[in-house]
Amino acid sequence: MQELFNNTHDALMFAFNYSSQQYALSPMSKLMKGGGSGTGKGLVSLDGAAQSGFILTRLRQMSELEQACITARYAPRYEECPCCQNKDKMTEQYRDAIATLTEWALSTCTGLTIRNMRAAIIRSFFERGISITAAAKDLNVAKATAYDQKARIHKALKELDAHAQREADRKLGISS
C-alpha cells in the first residue's frame, strides 16, 4: 500500500490547511478525471476531509503543550477579516496555541510578567517579521530585558517544539 505522505511535515501541512470549503466531486468531474489515471493522492472531497480528520484526531492524543506547538507551527495564522477584507486577523486556532504557550512560558521562564511581551516572543519563534524591539518599545519593556527573555523562552521552546515534532511523528507513524 502506498503511503499518502512523504513525511510528517507534509501530513500536518495537509491536515491544517485542508479547506472546509471543499465539496464532493460531481459525476461529470469524476468522468473527466479519467478513471484514476492522475498522479495525485486522491485526497479530494470527502476523502481529503476524512484524511485531515484522521490526522488531527491523532494529534489530539498528544499533550496540550505538544498540540499547541504543532498548531502554532502548521495551522494557518491569519485569515481574511470579514468586515475590512484584510488578511490580518489572527485565526482562532493559532491565537489559542499562542495563548497556551504564553502561559507555559510564564511558568518555565520566570522574570517577565507582561503577557503581551511573552506572546510576542512566542510568536517570533513561529513567525517571521515579529519585532522584539518594537514590541518592547510598545509595551515599555527594557530592550535588554526583552532580548534576555527571548533567549530563555526560545531555548525552552526549541526543546518543547522538537519534542512535539517527535511525538507527532510517533502518533502519525509516518516514516521520513
Is 76 inside a domain boundary? Answer: yes
Supply 14's cell numbers: 495537509
Domain presence at residue 20: yes
**Per-residue confidence (pLDDT) for residue 144, from 0 to 100:** 93
Per-residue pLDDT band for 176 (boundaries 50, 70, 90) equals low
For the chain, give the percent of residues with pLDDT over 90. 44
Asked whether residue 3 is assigned to any structural domain, the reply reads no
pLDDT band at 125 (very low <50, low <70, confident <90, very high): very high
DSSP 4: S
**Distance (Å, whole) CA 105 – CA 156:** 8
Q: Does position 1 have pLDDT exceeding 90, yes or no?
A: no
- Tally the domains of the chain: 1
Contact (Cβ atoms closer than 8 angstroms) between residue 59 and residue 67? yes
Tell whether 116 is covered by a domain.
yes
Q: Which domain holds residue 129?
A: 8-34+42-172
Does residue 1 lie within any of the structural domains? no
Residue 120 lies in a domain: yes
Burial of 13: CB neighbours in 10 Å, binned 0-12, 13-18, 19+: middle
Instruction: Look at 7-16, 31-40, 107-116 and tell me which has the smallest mean pLDDT.
Output: 31-40
Does residue 2 fall inside a structural domain?
Answer: no
pLDDT of residue 2: 40
Q: What is the CA radius of gyration of the chain?
A: 20
pLDDT over 80 (residue 155): yes
- Please give the distance of CA 164 from its chain centroid, rounded to a whole number: 12
Distance between CA atoms of residues 45 and 51, nearest Å: 10
pTM of the full predicted structure? 0.78
**Spatial CA neighbour of 79 closest among 97, 93, 91:** 91
**Average pLDDT in the chain:** 80
Look at residue 158 and tell me if it is in a domain. Answer: yes
3-state secondary structure of 142: coil
